[in-house]
A and B are shown apart, each in its own frame.
Chain A
Amino acid sequence: MLSLLWLVPALPLAGFIVLTLLGNRRLPHAVTSMVGVGSVGLSALLTLLIGVAFLAPPNAGSAFDQSVWTWMNVGGLNLAVAFRLDSLSLTMIFVVTFVGFLIHLYSVEHMAADEGYNRFFACMNLFVAAMLILVLADNLVLLYLGWEGVGLASYLLIGFWYREEANGRAARKAFLVTRVGDTAFAIGLFLLYSDLGTLQIQPLMQDAAAKWAPGSAIAIAAAALLLAGALGKSAQLPLQVWLPDAMAGPTPVSALIHAATMVTAGVYLIARTNVLFSLAPPVMLVTAIIGAATLLLAGMSALVQRDIKRVLAYSTMSQIGYMFLALGAGAWSAAIFHFWTHAFFKALLFLGAGVIIAALEEDHDIFHMGGLRTRQPLAYWTFLIGAASLSALPLLTAGFYSKDKILWDVWSSPGGGPVLWAAGLAGALLTALYTFRVVFRVFFGAPSPKVVEASPMKQPGIRISIPLVVLAVFSIGAGFVELPETLGNFPAFSNFIMNSLPPMIAHGGQGAEALLQLISAIAVLLGIALAYVFFLRRPGWSARLALSPAGNALSRFWFSGWGFDGLYERLIIRPYIFLARVNKHDVFDWLAEVLVARPYAALARMNKDDFFDRIFGWIAELNAAVARALRTLQSGYVRWYAAGIVMGAIILIATAVLR
């Protein structure tokens, strides 16, 4: 069964190729859906079977390598298209194929009326294939191929409705900003290869651990470059500006690419190369600080957004900030655990938002919603479950177990500490606040005129309902694979992932853990209560707060994502455009004119009386003279030619004999 591993990425890739090649014919929707959804569905089924085989004795949980073919073998660089299945990549491919399949199924109905239906599924299949290559790759170059592949698919899908200029702009922004990180990543690969001579992940990690001293300059440089790549892909400070704009794509795209899978590629990269990061403690610290800063900053921005998808986008940044915080603290398995639960509840939230947006004719503004609880019961219940999981409602939800593990690990890890923990705690409060702000605004209260106008609403069909329900079940259930010591002590996920990621050395007792859990639970409940008071019970308070001078300035500042767009606009884009404009108005042109063109023209004037012309004239005359001389050879007398042949023969024989 394990030997079928290559089929897992190959099936979506085949789906992409088929849909692309047949794309210019008007395929019936049924065929497109069959290919597009079927390929990912089969892939998910296969992943399930492979997972069972992977966990079966006798070699339960040991890594499986499969080399499909030699990719290139030049100058000592031997790269294979090879896949590696271990508990980390199995977790990743399960999420990618399973959540991917549900979102594909959802899209069949959600995108049914779109004229780019075929193109949509082609791009989605390309994305799934690239993402699977990314997580299964056994060398960093193949990983980079998948890395760029998901970037390409992301670009294509953000700009899916390319007729609107803003969407194309958002796609280009996402592509260019992530490219900054990708460039650093590529330089990191060059550095690793030039120093260690291999890019195969496992030997590379062993070599690095053997040859590089902890804290040495080269280890720090390599880890920092990889971190820069991860920051770009995972939308962390300072490369986070592209993610909110990426919401220009269709909602299933936001759910799959910009919430569940692609943006967590950076988390995967760091977890995969954890040995390198362990060798570079300063980089680990930077990772944790960036994670903490991003989670707070994005949480505050999420609090003031009006567009429901932008709230979720900032929330995604914030949650990935948690993962980076955990990675920076060395809590590898906690980060992956949070990735695991986050994929389910965030995809669920996006899909639920998609239902509401579709019912309200593409209106994203939460202030145009309200009272949708009775009008969209399925969306309400599933969204509520997702929101509860996102805000880590204690004991019940998956988000509680993963976020709690991160907080506890950050507190107890030698690389963490109370300050980072406090940032995480504040983030938890913020998360509950902004999440339930959306819930109360959208589903409770009086229905807005827009909602009344749109009633009775279109209810989601079976293809949308199934993914919502399944993801809701996972948003609750996915947390129960890892229970903390204080609550049942069932660390199945950690034990499972331990084969590929080193465990964290923690200190601290159960008493402290229980206390911290209590504090974070109180923070969450406090956040929900505040949201209830400010956004449902007394909406006037929040409005008054937002209208006060300080509140107004602050909320505008947060609304713009802490002004990063403006900052980059001033710092990078405008200087660049300025230079370009200056250049257009001829600085270099002028220099060229003064330094080259004018002296040349002067020389040419001096030369008008034909010095060079005469040289060329001589050449022409010489040619003519030679031609005249040679012409006499063509006498036209056959005996003359015969004599020529004889002379030639004599010369040849003479050279042969006399040599």
Chain B
Amino acid sequence: MAQVPVEHGLMLAAVLFALGLVGVLARRNLLFILLSLEVMLNSAGLAFVVAGSHWQQPDGQILFLFILTVAAAEVSIGLALVLLFQHRHQSLNVDDASGMRG
């Protein structure tokens, strides 16, 4: 099976990370922000896997499992926050939560 060049894998991860970042910064809907965060996490996981396959080490894949775990935990808290947000502001627009303006 032909090896995917490591540069391609890393570029894909970078593109995914940038897409997620733009989503986080540009989206106003809290739910979409969380989705974009997931994309960013997975891009980081992809980078680990690519690096692990490049050096023929299992560590990258193991680390991805950890990232999945962390992501699951993060999502559970994030969704709870989404519910609370909806209850309080009757919307999911993050810009409604600007009570800390200086």
Residues of B within 8 A of A639 (CB): 24-26, 28, 33, 94-95
Rounded to whole Å, the gap between the CB of A42 and the closest CB of chain B is 75
- The stretch of A225-233, A340-348, A630-638 in contact with B is A630-638
A634 and B101 CA atoms in complex are apart in Å by 5
Interface centre among A634, A635, A638, A643 (most CB of B within 10 A): A638
Query: Could you list which residues of chain A lie within 8 angstroms of chain B, going by C-beta atoms?
Result: 631-639, 642-643, 646
Against A, the Cβ 8 Å flags (1 = close, 0 = not) of B73-102 are 000000000000000000000110111111
> Which residues does chain A contribute within 8 Å of B24, judged by CB atoms?
639, 642
CB of B31 within 8 Å of the partner chain: no
A633 touches B21 (CB 8 A): no
Within the complex, the shortest CB–CB distance from A629 to chain B, in Å, comes to 11
Query: What separation, in Å, do the CA atoms of A635 and B99 have in the docked complex?
Result: 9
Residues in A with CB closer than 8 Å to B98 are: 635-637
Across the interface, name the chain A residue whose C-beta is closest to B102.
A634
Cα distance A632–B95 in the bound complex, in angstroms:
16
Q: How far is the CB of B20 from chain A (nearest CB, A)?
A: 11
Residues in B whose Cβ lies below 8 Å from that of A635: 98, 101-102
Task: Give the distance to chain B from A652, nearest Cβ to Cβ, in Å.
Answer: 15
Is the beta-carbon distance between B102 and A633 smaller than 8 angstroms?
yes
A-contacting residues of B (Cβ < 8 Å)? Answer: 21, 24-26, 28, 33, 94-95, 97-102
Q: Which residues of B contact A633 (CB under 8 A)?
A: 102
Least Cβ–Cβ distance between A638 and chain B, in angstroms: 5
Residues A636 and B25 in contact, CB atoms below 8 Å apart: no
A634 close to B100 (CB less than 8 A): yes
A631 to B102, CA, bound (A): 6
A646–chain B nearest beta-carbon distance, Å: 6
CB closest residue in chain A, given B100: A636
Bound-state CA distance A332–B28 (Å) is 104
**Do B101 and A636 have beta carbons less than 8 Å apart?**
yes
Which residues of A are found within 8 Å of B97, using beta-carbon distances? Answer: 636, 638
Bound state CA distance, A633 and B97, in angstroms? 16
Question: Could you list some 28 contacts between A and B, CB below 8 A?
Answer: A631-B102, A632-B102, A633-B102, A634-B100, A634-B101, A634-B102, A635-B98, A635-B101, A635-B102, A636-B97, A636-B98, A636-B99, A636-B100, A636-B101, A636-B102, A637-B94, A637-B95, A637-B98, A638-B94, A638-B97, A639-B26, A639-B28, A639-B33, A639-B94, A642-B24, A642-B25, A646-B21, A646-B25
How many angstroms between the C-alpha atoms of A635 and B71 in the bound complex?
A: 28
Q: Bound complex: CA of A283 vs CA of B98, how far in Å?
A: 92
Residues on the B chain within 8 Å of A632, using CB? 102
Contacting pair A643 B25 (CB below 8 A): yes
Q: Which residues of B contact A643 (CB under 8 A)?
A: 25
**Given A633-B102, A638-B97, 16 extra CB contacts under 8 A:** A631-B102, A632-B102, A634-B100, A635-B98, A636-B97, A636-B99, A636-B100, A636-B102, A637-B94, A637-B98, A639-B25, A639-B28, A639-B33, A639-B95, A643-B25, A646-B21
**In the complex, how many angstroms separate the beta carbon of A596 from the nearest chain B beta carbon?**
48
Question: Which residue on A lies nearest to B26, using beta carbons?
Answer: A639
Q: In the complex the two chains form, what is the Cα distance from A634 to B100 in whole Å?
A: 7
Q: Report the minimal beta-carbon distance from B93 to chain A, rounded to whole angstroms.
A: 11
Q: Please indicate the chain A residues that have their CB under 8 angstroms from the CB of B99 in the complex.
A: 636
Assembly CA distance A634 to B98 (angstroms): 10
Q: A634 vs B97: C-alpha distance in the bound complex, in angstroms?
A: 13
Q: Which B residues touch A631, using CB under 8 A?
A: 102
In the complex the two chains form, what is the Cα distance from A634 to B21 in whole Å?
A: 21
Instruction: Give the chain B neighbours of A634 by CB distance below 8 A.
Output: 100-102
CB distance from A117 to the nearest CB of B (A): 75
- Please report the C-alpha to C-alpha distance between residue A642 and residue B99 in the assembled complex, in whole angstroms: 16
